Amino acid sequence: MLKVENLNSFYGASQVLRDFSIDLAAGEVLCLLGRNGAGKTTALRSIMGLLRPRSGLVTLDGRELTSLPGHEVPKAGIGYVPQGRRLFSELTVAENLEIGLMCRGGGEEVRERVLQYFPRLSERLDQASGTLSGGEQQMLAMARALCVEPSVILLDEPTEGLQPSMISTIRDVLLQLRGDGVGILLVEQRVDAVRPVADRVAFVENGCVRETVGVAALTENPELLRKYVGVG
């Protein structure tokens, strides 16, 4: 489904991704784990076309995305939940969802389907998104991405700063999406949030994927976590 081959991305003269490669199948959850500054967020931004890689290839179902203009990448069917949510805070909940729907021409029925995942948002449609609670903002960031009707969704630390009940809601939605065949590329810092949802884990260090393992290896081989994330 999503294939990333040998991406090399830079911020100015500083190289952040070095031959970064991953692949993701339909209905699979792949988690990128690594220390701060390892290049996980940059990898997502490069896949989305927000940071133009100098070399490498991103394909979705065989269609090359790296040569597309940045705004065409989501139209290929990639939803994005950025780090820190990055909602359009002065727009209402409904307007934020509308931005997602416009991406691929989704209509009312798509919005209704997405709101079934997050019923609480239905009560807040006319509220400015910046006034929502942290958990509701995260729900909206995910709902906005789902309005794109993505075949692959990229999530950058979706559980950051959330209370346990909200983390559990997000986990349930991810499992549901996985069941629906959506490929999920998840960047996480919290290992406990990864275990229940991920199928595989790719350890990112210094801008490249060092090792990719099944999620069971996190329990079987705690040394991996000590080595790449600094926790055990």
Partner 1 sequence: MDFGPFLFLATLEGLVQAAVLCLTALGLSLVFGVMRVVNVAHGEFYMLGAVIAWWVTSIVGIHPAVGFAAALAIAPLAVGAIAFAGERLILKRLDYNPEATIVATIGMLYVIQQMALLFFGPDPRPVEAPFYFRIQFPWFGYSGYKLIVVAAAIAILLIAWFVIAKTRIGLVMRATQFDGDTAQAFGIPVNRVYASVFAVGAMFAAVAAVLIVPIRQAHYLMGLDPLLLSFIVVILGGLGSIRGTIVAAILIGLSDGIISVFFSPTLAKMASTLLVALVLVFRPQGLFGREEL
Binding site residues, partner 1, CB under 8 A: 48-50, 69-75, 80, 82, 86, 88-91, 95, 98-100, 102-104, 144, 148
Closest CA to 230 of 212, 203, 198: 203
Q: For the CB of residue 19, give the shortest distance to partner 1 in the complex, in Å.
A: 24
**Pure H helices in the chain:** 40-48, 93-104, 108-117, 119-122, 134-146, 164-179, 191-194, 217-220, 222-228
Q: Is 15 exposed, middle or buried (0-12, 13-18, 19+ CB in 10 A)?
A: middle
Q: Compute the least distance from the CB of residue 115 to partner 1, in Å.
A: 17
The residue (of 90 and 220) whose beta carbon lies closer to partner 1 is 90
CB 8 to partner 1: min, Å: 21
- For residue 92, count CB atoms less than 10 angstroms from its CB and return exposed for 0-12, middle for 13-18, buried for 19 or more: middle
Least distance in angstroms from the C-beta of 191 to partner 1: 27
Output 62 or 71, the one with its CB closest to partner 1. Answer: 71
Instruction: Give the distance from CA 178 to its chain's centroid.
Output: 13
Least separation, in Å, of the C-beta of 96 and partner 1?
8
| Smallest separation (angstroms) from partner 1 to the CB of 186 | 17
Decide: 17 and 39 in contact? Cβ < 8 Å: yes
Using the minimum distance from each CB to partner 1, give the nearer residue, 88 or 117: 88
Give 72 or 220: the residue with its C-beta nearer to partner 1.
Answer: 72
Residue 97 or 229 having the CB closest to partner 1: 97
Q: 33 Cβ partners below 8 Å, 6+ apart? A: 40, 188, 191, 194, 201, 202, 203, 204, 225, 228, 229
Nearer to partner 1, 7 or 48 (CB): 48
